[in-house]
Chains A and B, each alone.
Chain A
Amino acid sequence: MSNAAAIRPGRPALPEWVRRLPEYLTIWVPLLLSAAHLVSFSLWTIWISFTPSTLIPVTGWVGLRNYTAVAASRNWQIAFDNLLLFGCAFVVLSAATGLILAILLDQRIRGENVLRSIFLYPLAVSFVVTGTVWSWLLNPGLGIQKLVHDLGWTSFRFDWLIDRDMAIWTIVIAAIWQSSGFAMALFLAGLRSVDADIIKAAQIDGAGPVRIYRRIILPSLWPITITVVVIQLQFAISTFDLVRALTNGGPGIATQLPALVVYDLMFQRSLLGRGAAAAVLMLLILLAVLLPYAAWRYLQRRRAAHA
C-alpha cells in the first residue's frame, strides 16, 4: 500500500486508519446494516414466537405453546392445505405453460420479441393490480359468467370465485397468468443454449423434430426446470398481495394462505407471539424447499469443478 498522501509535504501526517475512515465507513455501514437487520430481525421474531406476547411484545417463555396453538387452529390448517394445493398446481402448471411458450417461441417465428413482451408484461405490474382485475373477470355477477349469460347461454356457470371448493383455483389461474412468462424466459434461454452441433448431427441421422425435443433438448433443460420450480415455490409460499386483492382469503377462509394468517394474527387479532410463530413456520416451509436446492447446487458446482 502506498503512503503517498502521508508523506506529502505541507500536510499533517494522519494515521492510516483515520485517513481511510470514509472508505471503511462507506464499505461497512450499508453492509453491516443489511446483514445486522437480517440476522437480528430473524432472531427477534423467533424470540417473540416463544413469548406470551399479545398486543405488545413482552418477555417471558411459553415454550412451543404458540406453535401448537397456531398448528391446531383451523385457520392455519386450511392455509397449509391451500398452500400445498396452490403450490403444487401453480408450480407444475406455470412451468408447463412456460415451457410450451418457450418451445413455441423457439420455432424461429416472426414477431418473437413482441410475443415475448406480451407474455412477460404481467410481471411488471403489481399483484394488487392484477388481483383486482382478475377479481372482476372471475366475479360471476360481473365478469366472464355475466358476459356469457348476456350472450344468451344462461345455464353457463363459472363461479369458482364464490365457490368454497374451487376458489383456490382462481388464485392458481391468476398466478399462472402473472408468472408463466418468467418460466418462459428461463426456459427460452436454456433452449437457446443447447449445442447446435448435436441437433444438427441428430437431424443428419434422420431424427424428426419431436424426437430431437424428447431425446436431446428437453433432457438438457432439467437443471433449469429445478431452478424454475424452486423460485416459483418460493413465490407461492410468500403469496400475499395477490390473494388479498383477489379473494381476501374468502369466501369465508377458503383461500387462506400462511402469509395471510401471519398478518391476521399480528395486526388484526394482536396475537404477536402466535403471529411470530406462524412467520417462523413459514420460514421452515421455505427452508424445506431451499435447503435441498442449495445442497443440490453445491453438489453440481463441485461436480463441475472436478470435471
Chain B
Amino acid sequence: MPDRTFAPSRIWIYLVVSLIAAAWLAPLAVVVLNSLRTNEEIAQGSMIGWPQHLAWSNYAAAWSGFCVAETCAGIRPYMLNSALITIPATIFSTLLGAVAGYAVSLWRFRGDTWIYGIVTLGLFLPQQMRLLPWTIVLRDIGLINTLAGLVLIHTIQGLSFTTLFCRNYYVAIPHELIRAARIDGAGFFRIFWRIILPLSGPILIVTVIWQFTHIWNEFLYGVTFTTGQQQPVTAALIALSAAVADIPQHGVQSAAVIIAALPTLLIYLLGGKYFVRGLTAGAVK
C-alpha cells in the first residue's frame, strides 16, 4: 500500500507498538537466554540476564540427562510420548472429522442436523464433566495409563472441532457438483475421494494445525490418566518443577521448556496463517 510510511507524526505509533511487542517477546527471550546459562550463574543473579558463556550442555542435560522422579532419561521419553499421542490422534480426528463434515454438509442423511448439533456441543462441555466417565471407561477397557487411551480420548473429543471446521468449509461447495456425481453413479466414498478431498487442502491444514497444537499442549487428561513413564511432556514438565524444587536447576529447566514448546512454535512459524484461521473459525462457531 502506498501510504505505509515513516512520517514523523506517526513515529509514536511505531514507538508504542514496538514497546508492546518487546514486552510480548520478553518472556520468550528470558527463557532462551536462561537455557544458555549455567545453573550456578542463574543462582548468583536473577532469571533475567545475559549468558556469560553459552552453556549448550543444558540442552543435552534437558534432553536425555536430568532426573524426573527416579528415572534419569531427561525429557526425551516424554517428548516421544507426546508425539505418539499427538500424531495419531491428529490424523484420526482430522480424517474422521473430514468424512463426518462431508456427510452432514453435502451428503445429508436422516437426523444429520440433530447429530451435528449434539457433536458441536462438545466445543462447550468442560473437560471436568468428562473426567470421571473417561477414568471409568479407560479402566474398564484396559487403556488407563496408556498412550492408546489418550489417543482414543483426543480422537473422539477432537471430532467436535474437526467436524465443525470441515462442515463449515464444505457447505460452500456447490451441491450441484455432488448431485451430478451421484447421477453418474458415484457413491459416498468415490465422491469424497475424487471431489471433496482434492478441494480440502486449506481446511485440512487448518484442522491438522489446530488439532496438533491442542493435543500437544493438553495437560489435564495427560496428568489425570497417565503416570510416570507414560506421561506426555506437559505433565512431565510439572513433575520436573516439583522434583527440582529443592535444588533448582533453572538453566536445564529452561532448556526443557524450550524443547517442549518447540514443536508447536515451529508449526506456528511455518503455518501461522492457517493457525490464525483456525482460531477465528473456532471463535465464530
Known contacts A57-B132, A241-B234, A108 near B1 by CB under 8 Å:
yes
In-complex Cβ contact of A4 among B121, B133, B185 (8 A): B185
Minimum C-beta distance from B16 to chain A (A)? 6
Structural contact, A104 and B17, CB atoms closer than 8 A:
yes
Counting CB contacts under 8 A, is A129 at the interface?
Answer: yes
Which of B121-171 touch A at CB < 8 Å? 121-122, 124-134, 136, 156-157, 159-160, 163
Chain B hits for A133, CB < 8 A: 27-28, 30-31, 257
Which of A112-142 touch B at CB < 8 Å? 115-130, 132-137, 139, 142
Chain A hits for B17, CB < 8 A: 104-105, 109, 115
Structural contact, B283 and A126, CB atoms closer than 8 A:
no
What is the 8 Å Cβ interface bit string for chain B, positions 244-285, against chain A (1 contact, 0 not)?
000000100100010011001101110010011001100110
Known contacts A38-B121, A110-B6, A126-B217, A121 near B268 by CB under 8 Å:
yes
Chain A hits for B118, CB < 8 A: 34-35, 38-39
Most interface-central of B116, B253, B280 (chain A CB within 10 A): B280
Structural contact, A45 and B268, CB atoms closer than 8 A:
no
Minimum C-beta distance from A223 to chain B (A)? 11
Known contacts A126-B261, A262-B128, A120 near B272 by CB under 8 Å:
yes
Structural contact, B21 and A119, CB atoms closer than 8 A:
yes
**Whole-angstrom distance between the alpha carbons of A22 and B187 in the complex?**
11
Chain B hits for A200, CB < 8 A: none
Counting CB contacts under 8 A, is B73 at the interface?
Answer: no
The stretch of B44-52, B54-62, B63-71, B197-205 in contact with A is B44-52
What is the 8 Å Cβ interface bit string for chain A, positions 41-61, against chain B (1 contact, 0 not)?
110110010000000010000
Structural contact, B283 and A231, CB atoms closer than 8 A:
yes
Counting CB contacts under 8 A, is A144 at the interface?
Answer: yes
Chain A hits for B226, CB < 8 A: none
Minimum C-beta distance from A46 to chain B (A)? 8
Minimum C-beta distance from B140 to chain A (A)? 12
Counting CB contacts under 8 A, is A221 at the interface?
Answer: no
Most interface-central of A109, A133, A244 (chain B CB within 10 A): A133
**Whole-angstrom distance between the alpha carbons of A227 and B261 in the complex?**
29
Known contacts A136-B250, A237-B126, A275-B132, A124 near B47 by CB under 8 Å:
no
Minimum C-beta distance from B30 to chain A (A)? 7
What is the 8 Å Cβ interface bit string for chain A, positions 237-279, against chain B (1 contact, 0 not)?
1101100110000000000000100110011000010011011
Minimum C-beta distance from B78 to chain A (A)? 12
Counting CB contacts under 8 A, is A290 at the interface?
Answer: yes
Known contacts A124-B265, A185-B280, A286-B126, A129 near B134 by CB under 8 Å:
no
Which of A145-162 touch B at CB < 8 Å? 146-147, 150
Counting CB contacts under 8 A, is A78 at the interface?
Answer: no
Chain B interface extent, by class: 35 or more
Structural contact, A109 and B238, CB atoms closer than 8 A:
no
Counting CB contacts under 8 A, is B188 at the interface?
Answer: yes
Counting CB contacts under 8 A, is A30 at the interface?
Answer: yes
Minimum C-beta distance from A41 to chain B (A)? 4
Structural contact, B216 and A126, CB atoms closer than 8 A:
yes
Known contacts A30-B96, A30-B100, A119-B24, A126 near B13 by CB under 8 Å:
no
Chain B hits for A290, CB < 8 A: 124
Counting CB contacts under 8 A, is A33 at the interface?
Answer: yes
Minimum C-beta distance from B162 to chain A (A)? 10
Q: Which residue of B lies closest to A142 (CB)?
A: B47
**Whole-angstrom distance between the alpha carbons of A2 and B45 in the complex?**
78
Known contacts A41-B134, A150-B45, A34 near B122 by CB under 8 Å:
yes
Minimum C-beta distance from A145 to chain B (A)? 8
What is the 8 Å Cβ interface bit string for chain B, positions 4-39, against chain A (1 contact, 0 not)?
101000100110110011011101101100100000
Chain B hits for A150, CB < 8 A: 45-46
Counting CB contacts under 8 A, is A211 at the interface?
Answer: no
Structural contact, B115 and A31, CB atoms closer than 8 A:
yes
Counting CB contacts under 8 A, is A283 at the interface?
Answer: yes
Structural contact, B121 and A283, CB atoms closer than 8 A:
no
Minimum C-beta distance from A89 to chain B (A)? 18
Structural contact, B156 and A33, CB atoms closer than 8 A:
yes
Q: Which residue of B lies closest to A244 (CB)?
A: B238
**Could you list 6 A-B pairs, sorted by A, with CB under 8 Å?**
A35-B119, A118-B21, A119-B24, A142-B250, A147-B47, A182-B283
Which A-B residue pairs are the 8 nearest by beta carbons? A126-B217, A124-B268, A146-B46, A41-B133, A279-B128, A35-B118, A23-B188, A241-B219
Q: Given A146-B48, A237-B126, list of 16 further CB < 8 A pairs? A: A27-B188, A33-B156, A38-B119, A41-B129, A45-B131, A45-B132, A57-B132, A105-B17, A116-B276, A118-B24, A129-B237, A137-B30, A137-B48, A234-B124, A259-B126, A283-B128
